[in-house]
Amino acid sequence: MKFPVVHLGGEKCVTGSCHFMQLQGLNILVDCGMTQGEDRGVDPSQWPVRASELDFIFLTHAHVDHIGMLPRLIADGFGGEIICTHPTQALIVPMLNDAMRFEHLSDDARQDVTRRIDDLSWGFECGPTFDLKRGISFKLGRAGHILGSCFIRLESARDGFSILFSGDLGNRDTPLLPDPEAADPADFLILESTYGNRLHGDRRQRVRQLAGVLAHCLADGGKVFIPAFALGRTQEVLYELDRIFSDDAYREMYPQLRGEAHPPVFLDSPLGLDITQIYSGLHAYWDEEARALLMGGEDPLDFDRLFAVPRHYQHEQLLGVDGPVIIIAGSGMCAGGRIVDHLVHGIEEPRNDIVFVGYTAKGTPGRCIQAQAESHGTVVLDGVERRVRAGVHVLSGYSAHADQRGLLDWVGAMGGRPKMIRLVHGEDDARSALAAALEQRGYVVG
Ligand SMILES: [Zn+2]
């Protein structure tokens, strides 16, 4: 049987996820992401279907590299239905509002798009099977990547086959999130491969690793910059800082981080603040541990000496503040957002440190900083060339994506072998390493 999916983006790179298929005459898109860095997708003007002819857009989660093209598709006439989980539905509009700021849309045009998205989107729970149309059914499952992230299984009774989109798969033991679930068997599997060639460090050690790096970095009174995606990573980092500052074990180990005297933490991100508030409101979807903390009267996303920086003038004041201080700001890849100002001001100061806790795509300043750290080479930030003299730390245990073992385990837990697996959402090395590992286990990768 012919492979039923056309990849319009995110096939051989990590950003811009977008997949199209036609089932029983229905035009279905799974994700419609924006590309970043050097990544490229197929422009909608070249797609095999017009936006106005699309019947359904399924969304695996609310990261912009999976939903960022919604405004364009709506402007081009999309009037079908958007299907996702309840938390994703709550996160789409704030995420797109922020993304659209860079597209020079008028306020009216932006409001119109957000109203249309509200009208067209439908939230569903993970678990049950729902009927779509013409004998097609779908089922969402928890992917453990960010709040609301899901994998999507579609089955066409009349065509007699099923297809599963992994979306972005997370790891076990992620703060706030329930672990990824096992998926039902499917004939075709579209599998992400971001870290298909890597094994992460021991994730249970990562809080200690973060505490150790922070204690080390703050000892000389410098600033610590944590570039973080506003959605997902920021909330995880807040959660773990809350543990570090309130758990006696860490305070014993790292007296620098002790009690009320710990350095102030600034969340310098209007979007990060909005999303954190939405995360708080969605606590019904948190994992057991986080819900238990909340029930016990402790808000795991808030602690003493955590300061919000919503306004731009406050951000400018913060640029001049002396260390020791911890600053969390977007974007995670340092390709834009307030982190860029902090780095322009602070990357040449050896007492400062940059702590990376997430993926950085090829061609982004974040990736470049990591490459130039050892040689103290230069990086271009917002058109300004700067030498990398600050310390650079990459905490791999923080990835929001499963590593090779996690991906293989998830495929193995499906309870049936797909007839074919298509690897997407990974750079060449990652895809070929994962393909080899799958083929060694007898899977067909095509
Ligand atoms: Zn994602």
Residue 54 is part of a domain; what is its CATH number?
3.60.15.10
Q: How many angstroms separate the CA atoms of 70 and 18, rounded? A: 11
- Ligand 1 centre from 283 Cα, in Å? 20
Are 421 and 348 in the same domain?
Answer: no
- pLDDT tens digits, residue range 147-200? 999 999 999 999 999 999 999 999 988 889 999 999 999 999 999 999 999 888
Q: How many angstroms separate the CA atoms of 208 and 189, rounded? A: 36
- Ligand 1 centre from 399 Cα, in Å? 11
Are 326 and 412 in the same domain?
Answer: no
Are 132 and 13 in the same domain?
Answer: yes
Residues 150/167, Cβ–Cβ less than 8 Å: yes
pLDDT score of 260: 62
In a domain, 363, yes or no: yes
Give the chain's residues under pLDDT 50: none
Q: From edge to edge, which strands make up the β-sheet containing 26-32?
A: 6-9, 18-23, 26-32, 56-58, 81-85, 121-124
pLDDT score of 240: 92
- Ligand 1 centre from 349 Cα, in Å? 32
pLDDT score of 102: 65
- pLDDT tens digits, residue range 244-300? 888 888 877 887 776 567 899 999 999 999 999 999 999 999 999 999 999 999 999
Six token digits for residue 204: 């249970």
Q: How many angstroms separate the CA atoms of 245 and 243, rounded? A: 6
pLDDT score of 98: 83
pLDDT score of 217: 87
Domain of residue 67 covers 6-198+400-440
- Which letter does DSSP use for residue 396 in this model? G
Are 129 and 207 in the same domain?
Answer: no
pLDDT score of 203: 67
Residue 261 is part of a domain; what is its CATH number?
3.40.50.10890
pTM for the structure as a whole: 0.90
Are 394 and 273 in the same domain?
Answer: yes
Domain count, the chain: 2
Are 126 and 110 in the same domain?
Answer: yes
- Ligand 1 centre from 186 Cα, in Å? 22
Are 148 and 207 in the same domain?
Answer: no
- Ligand 1 centre from 167 Cα, in Å? 8
- Ligand 1 centre from 324 Cα, in Å? 32
Q: How many angstroms separate the CA atoms of 225 and 166, rounded? A: 32
In a domain, 1, yes or no: no
pLDDT score of 290: 95
